[in-house]
Amino acid sequence: MNLALDAMGGDIAPKNPIGGLKLALESLPLVKKFYLTGPKDVIEAELDRQQVGQRERVEIVHSTQVVEMSDSGLDAVRRKKNSSISMAVDLVKQGECQAVVSAGHTGASVAAGTLMLGRLDGVDFPGIASPMPNEHGVCYILDAGANPDATPGHLVQYAIMGSTYAQYVHGKASPVVGLMNVGEEDSKGNALAKETFPLLKLAPVNFKGNVEGHDIFETELDVIVCDGFTGNVILKSCEATAKAMFKWLKHELEATFIRKMGALMAQQAFRTVKRKGSYESYGGSPLLGVRGVVIIGHGSSSPTAIMNALRVGMEAVTHEVNPHIQNAITSHVFAHV
Judged by CB under 8 A, the stretch of 39-47, 165-173, 184-192, 323-331 that binds a second copy is: 184-192
Residue 316: what residue type? A
Stretch that binds a second copy, among 168-176, 262-270, 317-325, 327-335 (CB under 8 A): 262-270
User: Residue 144 CB, nearest distance to a second copy (Å)?
Assistant: 10
177 binds a second copy (CB under 8 A): no
Q: Which amino acid, one-letter code, is at 269?
A: A
Q: Residue 124 CB: number of other CB atoms within 10 A? A: 13
Contact status: 300 vs a second copy (CB under 8 A): no
- The yes or no reply on residue 12 touching a second copy (CB under 8 A) is no
Smallest distance, Å, CB 37 to a second copy?
24
3-state secondary structure string, 183-239? CCCCCCCCHHHHHHHHHHHHCCCEEEEEECHHHHHHCCCCEEECCHHHHHHHHHHHH
Compute the distance between CA of residue 260 and CA of residue 285 in angstroms, rounded to an integer: 37
Binder among 51, 94, 171, 258 for a second copy (CB under 8 A): 258
**Residue 238 contacts a second copy per CB under 8 A:** yes
193 belongs to the binding site for a second copy (CB under 8 A)? yes
Position 137 contacts a second copy (CB under 8 A): no
* Interaction between residue 29 and a second copy (CB under 8 A): no
DSSP-derived letter for residue 311 is H
d(CA 70, CA 104): 12
Answer yes or no whether residue 335 interacts with a second copy by CB under 8 A: no
User: Residue 325 carries which side chain, given as an amino acid letter?
Assistant: I
Q: How far is the CB of 12 from a second copy (least distance, A)?
A: 18
Of 142, 73, 100, nearest to 292 (Cα)?
100
242 touching a second copy, by CB under 8 A = yes
* Residue 269 is a binding residue for a second copy (CB under 8 A): yes
Tell me how far apart the alpha carbons of residues 140 and 163 are, in angstroms, rounded to a whole number: 9
Give the separation between CA 9 and CA 16, rounded to whole angstroms. 9
Sole binder of a second copy in the list 45, 202, 245, 335 (CB under 8 A): 245
Residues 189-198: contacts with CB under 8 Å, at least 24 apart: 192/150, 192/151, 192/152, 192/155, 192/227, 195/152, 196/152, 196/155, 196/156, 196/225
* CA atoms within 13 Å, Cβ hemisphere of 273: 8
Of 121 and 218, the one with the shorter C-beta distance to a second copy is 218
- In angstroms, give the least distance from the CB of 118 to a second copy: 24
Using DSSP bridges, classify how beta strands 293-297 and 284-288 pair: parallel, antiparallel or unpaired. Answer: antiparallel
Size of the site for a second copy (CB under 8 A): 63
Span near a second copy by CB under 8 A; candidates 12-20, 45-53, 157-165, 178-186: 178-186
Q: According to CB under 8 A, which one of 152, 233, 278, 324 is a site residue for a second copy?
A: 233
Residues within the interface to a second copy (CB under 8 A): 69-70, 72, 134-135, 145, 148-149, 180, 182, 185, 187, 189-191, 193, 212-218, 227-230, 232-246, 248-249, 252-253, 255, 258-259, 261-270, 272-273, 276-277
